[in-house]
Amino acid sequence: MSKLPRPTISDVAKAAKTGKTSVSRYLNGEQNLLSEDLRLRIEHAIAALDYRPSLMAQGLKRGRTRLIGLIIADITNPYSVNVLSGIEAACREKGFTPLVCNTNNELDREQHYLDLLRSYQVEGIVVNAVGMREEALNRLQQSALPMVLIDRKIPDFACDVVGLDNTQAATTATEHLIQQGFEALLFLSEPLGTVNTRRERLSAFRATLARYPGVVAESAETVLHEAAQIDNTLRQFHARHRGMRKAVISANGALTLQVARSLKRIGLHWGSDIGLLGFDELEWAELAGVGITTLKQPTWQIGYAAVEQVVRRIDGSDNTVREQLFSGELIVRGSTSL
């Protein structure tokens, strides 16, 4: 039960009565250059010793590792894990292996993981910025590695991005509410800062409503975990428009959860007292009261496309900065039909 050292390529060579070169050749697909006899001996030796080449040594030798680093700010976010599926699928197809790092939105951990990934010679990184704090995202420019961002851009920094077509999505959402006959709309978001996704969604919301002068357009920012702030915002919005049909658009899934909790606290029912529409699909959307209308992102495709792009860069087959946008899909439920 003592932990014996892993067998090395030399052990295999010895067991197969040959040199390491031949074993190395065997491993790298140059099997046709080997005699039938030798090949079998090697095959046998490998199986007998349960030998696996050390990726450490391999990576050290040749420069490439076929590793792609993943930086995720908040793995608790359902959006992120869904994107992850697409990422993994693509990695697999392209012959890469993803290294998942969850920074938990802490700056020092991001730095730590970034160093780690570089130390492991990852050939590129995919940054899932959903839920990521601005500062964390901004610091990312440093890494001179092939990098592609998911969801959000770094201001003033040309970099590949793949994410939602925010304008299309917000327009679709807003028009749906108008069609449903809502007369006052509140766009609720986390602090806009320089976060392009939030700003774009809000802009499209405003642009759309500019075409419908009869409808009241409001917007507000709130911190995610300030329950009281959300309560007040919603309560006041509701009070300000007594007698009108009003609805709230929540700018992302995490916020939608908080909004729903808030409405419950202050005793407002979505679908009857107030309309509710949230960005990002939620597995429980149909179960919450009369159901919550959502704008679903094609998360899997987004993840897949991100890897495709980073691989293009790694291969050097494309050097133009790309911005790849996917359309959202409105899923109508009870919360938007008064």
- Residues at the contact surface with DNA, assessed by CB under 7 A: 5-6, 8-10, 17-25, 27-28, 33-35, 37-39, 51, 53-54, 56-58, 60-62
Report the site for a copy of itself in 25-84 (rule: CB under 8 A).
52-57, 59-60, 63, 65, 75-76, 81-82, 84
Residue number, 44 or 261, with CB nearest to a copy of itself: 261
Using CB under 8 A, which residues numbered 271 to 290 contact a copy of itself?
A: 282-284, 286-289
Cβ-contact 277, 294 below 8 angstroms: yes
CB under 5 to 8 A by kind: which of DNA, a copy of itself, none does 38 bind? DNA
Cα–Cα distances (Å) from 64 to 54, 124, 171, 269, 310, in that order, read 14, 11, 44, 56, 15
Contact status, residue 91 vs residue 98, Cβ threshold 8 Å: yes
The site string for a copy of itself over 75-104 (x = CB under 8 A, - otherwise) reads xx----xx-xx--x---x----x-xxxx-x
CB of 144 to DNA, least distance (A): 16
Minimal distance in Å, beta carbon 283 to a copy of itself? 6
Q: Measured from the CB atom, is 58 or 232 closer to DNA?
A: 58
- Here the tokens at position 52 are 């696996």
Instruction: Return the number of other C-beta atoms located less than 10 Å from residue 139's C-beta.
Output: 14
Contact 301, 142 (CB under 8 A): no
Which residues does residue 217 pair with via DSSP β-bridges, in sequence order? 185
Q: Does 268 bind a copy of itself (CB under 8 A)?
A: no
Edge-to-edge order in the sheet of strand 329-331: 216-221, 184-189, 246-250, 275-279, 293-296, 329-331
Query: Looking at beta carbons only, is 120 or 212 nearer to a copy of itself?
Result: 120
Angle between helices 253-266 and 227-240 (to 10 degrees): 70
What letter would DSSP give residue 232? H
Q: Which residues are at the interface with a copy of itself (CB under 8 A)?
A: 3, 5-6, 52-57, 59-60, 63, 65, 75-76, 81-82, 84-85, 88, 92, 97, 99-102, 104, 109, 115-116, 118-121, 144, 257, 260-261, 264, 282-284, 286-289
